[in-house]
Amino acid sequence: LGVSPLPDLYVRNNPFPNAYTLAIDGKRPFIVVHSSLIDLLTPAEVQAVLAHELGHLLCNHGVLITVANVLALAADAFSPRAGQAVSAALMRWRRSAELSCDRAALLVAQDPQVALSVIVKLTGGTVALRDEISTEAFLRQVQRYDESAQTRVGKQLVGSQTSGASHPLPILRAAELNRWSQGAEYRHLLASANRRQASLG
């Protein structure tokens, strides 16, 4: 991904699988990975999670979120309705930012099954059953969800489930990542990255 300088990496003992990035002004950014995430995922999947977090740094999401939060507070002081509108737009942008970082994970993993498996395992995986988790079965659920979401009631349910969330629903993340992995943009970026890697020897 070309992130420089690379952030520090810390492992935190925590039973809830998660990872996050912090970039404090003037200090070296760092990534925190929970111990349970390392236990749950394969090395390739952990690499994809780290790529997702590096995507946040590469896109300066932390800085942009801070600026957007300040704007939301200012708008709220001017008018509560304006503040709500700005906050809603911020949450939509944050969900889109997560999708961008899922793409960064896929570009590093170079295997849709690895990137999708991360989403599936973090949705409901356990260490005991991790070898039985099926991305194919999850994608079939994605297809059924997509079909039901096209109805009037389905659209309302999706809206109510996502409106206040900072992250897209896992099933929506998987659907979007699966679509992107089959598109021309992904193939072009992957070919470009491989050519660049080959030129470096």
Catalytic residue positions? 53
C-alpha 69/C-alpha 63 separation (Å) is: 10
186, 180 Cβ separation under 8 angstroms: yes
Q: Please, which contacts does 192-201 make with residues 24 or more away whose CB atoms are closer than 8 Å?
A: 193/107
Burial (CB < 10 A; 0-12, 13-18, 19+), residue 139, is middle
C-alpha 163/C-alpha 174 separation (Å) is: 18
C-alpha 179/C-alpha 192 separation (Å) is: 20
Q: Please, which contacts does 88-92 make with residues 24 or more away whose CB atoms are closer than 8 Å?
A: 88/163, 90/65, 91/163, 91/164, 91/165, 91/166
